[in-house]
A and B are shown apart, each in its own frame.
Chain A
Amino acid sequence: MKTIEWQDEYTVGVKELNNQHRNLLDIINMLLKEQSDKYEASKFKSALTSLIHYAYTHFATEERYLLEARFPNLNQHVLEHIDFIMKTLGLALKVEVNRDESRAELLRYLQDWYSSHVLVTDRQYIPFLASIEI
């Protein structure tokens, strides 16, 4: 499946968050590539586990910044993070049961999520982060 290429305009102005967004993208791209190349179930599974664990780290970091910046939509934003975890875990379980079909569904979800959450929703907080000292 088509990978997503990092662009400089994706930055949100805070180095730590940019690095984490890039790392998340790297893991997602690794999964997307697995699909097209020779597929190895164990490799796929371990990359997916890394993605979920890394998402916890990233969300915890991001939410700390948003709390400090008094971002008004924090509540909604956190709920989107939680929703991501629940959906990804749910799809990961489906992949175990019904490989090919669910794998494509999971990958489409990750692609859409990165494009709609990281590259769109996250941009809402940029002006608020500008007000805190980093």
Chain B
Amino acid sequence: MQFLEWEDTYNIGVKEIDIQHRGLFDIVSRLFTSRNYKTEGKYFFATLVQFIDYTKVHFATEERYMREAEYPKLVQHQQQHTEFLIEVMKLSRDCEKKEPDIEQKILNFLKSWYMNHILGTDRDYQKALLDKGFK
């Protein structure tokens, strides 16, 4: 399974958020490509941990913008962030325990999250942020 190809249409027009979305995209891409090379499982796990750290920073940034823009669905959006973090941390524990097929499971999960959340749900706040004059 392949991850996505980057497209400039993925940008939402607020620079700080776009840089972070691209950063997350690149880390997930590396989780995918790491499987084409004979790397130790340690690398996959270490990269996943970095991904989780980066995600926490990103969610905080995004929530700050949404709050400042008085985005009405902030609470629901935050809820999705929390649920995602809980799930991905659970998966990372399974990864550390080397559960069977865990890497594939994580890749599937991250790909569908990137498509549904970043390329889906996140589009919903775009207008609120741009209307507020953020760029």
Q: What residues make up the interface of A, taking CB atoms closer than 8 Å to B?
A: 49, 52-54, 56-57, 59-61, 63, 75, 78-79, 82, 85-86, 89
Report A-chain residues with C-beta under 8 Å of the C-beta of B23. Answer: 53-54, 56-57
Tell me whether A49 and B53 are in contact in the complex, defined as CB-CB below 8 angstroms, given that A57-B22, A86-B42 are known contacts.
yes
Flag if A56 contacts B33 (CB, 8 Å): no
B25 to chain A, nearest CB (A): 8
Flag if B30 contacts A60 (CB, 8 Å): yes
Report A-chain residues with C-beta under 8 Å of the C-beta of B29. Answer: 60
Flag if A57 contacts B26 (CB, 8 Å): yes
Q: What residues make up the interface of B, taking CB atoms closer than 8 Å to A?
A: 22-23, 26-27, 29-30, 33-34, 37, 39, 42-43, 46-47, 50, 53-54
Listed from nearest, the 10 A-B pairs whose CB atoms lie closest are: A60-B26, A57-B26, A56-B27, A60-B29, A56-B26, A82-B43, A78-B37, A82-B39, A89-B46, A53-B54
Interface SS majority for chain A: helix
Complex Cα spacing A59 to B26, Å: 9
A25 to chain B, nearest CB (A): 19
B126 to chain A, nearest CB (A): 22
Cβ-neighbour of A86 out of B43, B53, B54 (below 8 A):
B43
Complex Cα spacing A52 to B37, Å: 20
Report A-chain residues with C-beta under 8 Å of the C-beta of B30. Answer: 56, 59-60
A37 to chain B, nearest CB (A): 25
Report A-chain residues with C-beta under 8 Å of the C-beta of B42. Answer: 86
Complex Cα spacing A71 to B69, Å: 46
Tell me whether A56 and B37 are in contact in the complex, defined as CB-CB below 8 angstroms, given that A61-B26, A85-B43, A86-B43 are known contacts.
no
Cβ-neighbour of A79 out of B22, B27, B37, B46 (below 8 A):
B37
Report B-chain residues with C-beta under 8 Å of the C-beta of A85. Answer: 43, 46-47
